Amino acid sequence: MKLARVTGTVVSTVKYDKYRGMKLLKVRHLDLEMNETGEELIALDAANAGMGDIVLVNNDGGAAQMVMGDKTLIASVTVCGVIDSFTCQGKTTRCHG
């Protein structure tokens, strides 16, 4: 799992049937200093995240199946939670407000 920031939403008129009713988000991974790294990715949202939220993403296809309760769902990146704060090496970082 990695930290990421929600950078946008994806609107699709035609979707894979399993994605109907599910939100797709653009996310970009973050380092521990909250700097964006890498390219933007499209993630299946299982946490009701919004624009600008700091989220926990899982880059494992099985995560979507577990979180969404559907063993046939396919997604390589899944937003699993919205992060309020985290502590690393004794330093606490607040992600909102």
What pLDDT, in 10s, does the model give residues 5-52?
A: 999 999 888 877 877 788 999 999 999 889 999 999 999 998 999 999
The single residue listed with the structure tokens 């993403």 is 57
Residue 97: predicted pLDDT: 58
Most confident stretch, 49-53, 61-65, 68-72, 73-77 = 49-53
Structure tokens at 73: 């769902």
Tell me the whole-structure pTM to 2 decimals: 0.86
How many Cβ atoms sit within 10 Å of the Cβ of residue 41? 16
Residue 95: predicted pLDDT: 86
Asked: is 2-94 a CATH 1.10.230.10 domain? The reply is no
Residue 9: predicted pLDDT: 94
